[in-house]
Structure 1
Amino acid sequence: MHVLIARRHLLPLGLTPLLGPARAEDAELRWLLVEPAPQGGGEGPLADDTLANRLLREVLWPGLPGWRHQLRVRAAAQLPRELQAAGASCVVGMDAPAPGRAPELHAGPVLRALPVGAVVRAADAAWWRPHLNWRGELALDALLRSAEGLAAFKADRPHGPGIDPVLQQQPAERLRRLPVDGASRIALSMLARQQGVAAAFADPAELRQFERSQPDLAGSLRWLPVQGQPELVARHIACSRNDGGRRALAQLNALLARTDIREQLQLIYEAQLMTTERERLLMLRSRLGEGFWRV
């Protein structure tokens, strides 16, 4: 069964009508983003075309009246402490919470996204193409055994059930673990610039954002789905477990229950992808039907 998908035109960034300006008496809602800010860090706005910025400014902020919305760029390790501080804070793009372990509250899902996959050089197709199955998924273990270079990745980032066990089985000398903020971008840069790296790991939106930040490298890398990874992953919003966070959570869940909002958020995500990746999502949506939205 094929699903007809309605496509709505999104207003350009900054032109979405707000539900009235923020008032001085409105409570502050801090949005914590794990992305480098312009000029390498600090507070303030992110590039207009980043996924998180578009989701916030075009859909979520206009749909959440009664707040003074603020952006805060933070290292990933700071998020747990920030979410337990006083005041209302939320983070976009979180994985589903582990049962009984998350100190924060989760809203959503916000997006149905393609998972982390392997990133290789497009020019090396003769090397990686034999390791694809009939569904276009990569046999990662076989690929890494045949690699002449290293696999580079962020050391403390979970990549998924099809990637992490494979990496754990590799000899240490075949891996380049990067325990620093921005490690995923560093790994992609090393791969694209042929600095001894044969593979890196990212989801498609991360890869496209990297290429926009490095236009001289655009088109040089290819994202591949990996055997054993989920076909889709759900991305959530995490909010602080306090009165402000609960109020924000209730508003978010009411907003995310709307079909038009769900479609608009999904369209913003799909706009970050290359044609082959959008086609993969559309294929999954056609096959899964309403199950697509239950992921």
Structure 2
Amino acid sequence: MPGSPLRRKLLTTLLLAPAGAWLIVFLVLPFIAIIIFSVGERAPEGGYQAALTLTQYANLPARAAAFWNTLILAPVGAFACLLVAYPVAYYLALKASQRWRLILLALIVIPFWTSLLMRTYAWMYILGGRGIPTLLAYVGIEDLRLINTPGAVLLGIVYGYLPLMILPIYVSLERLDRRLLEASADLGAKPVSTFFGITFRLSLPGVTTGFSLVMILLLGEYLIPTMLGGGKVFFLGNALVDLFLQSRNWPFGSAIAVTLVLVSVVVLIIANRVSSRFSGARQVDLI
């Protein structure tokens, strides 16, 4: 019918309108406001004063320590999550029975439903003076400091974000055609060659999805560095809280936020290109 394409376009527009309106109101407009704030000046009493200047971006080196900590510990934390998550996802997808697979997946996901604040408090106790250091003191290892260190922050990162790394890799491995592994074995390939040539290569979309997801969330992480780092490990999230809520330097905080978004976009682009180049597959959807 002549009107069918028009009706299909109209129906598509109506279906996308609620989601589009949601994105515009809660994502696009706030980001535009942040960009406007970032080219302004701090008002004498704090907050925002209208201006058109790039001074705030020129002052970004003043928070170099926060940038450095974030750009080092965020990818290191994401990589540590990957090292722990991949064997777990591999076992769940390719080795565990159907019954145990569901139970283990539940055990992985259920702790994620608990507040990150409560889980981080638990690690504060475990790593604090009455936790592991006390136990080690009984065997002669004394004056060992675990809390308020980069290592404690990395441990909290791995524990807090591990499910977000396991699930995309598990989905990617679970979709793997087992006949490819059997064919590789029949052709005389060694297990190591089969793993890197088939298993890891075809699971790379899940790896890059999980890595980029964890990495982007860590770029704005605030709670774990505050509680397990004790203010000695400063992330960009801590800098934003300080600038917006304490010193009330909204333009400078907005400039850092815009820079953080740009870094996140770069991470996504790199992850997408790595996945497309080495696996020839699309990113893994969790839904």
Higher helix share: 2
Same fold (TM over 0.5): no
Q: TM tier, shorter chain? A: under 0.3
TM-score (norm 2): 0.26
TM-score (norm 1): 0.26
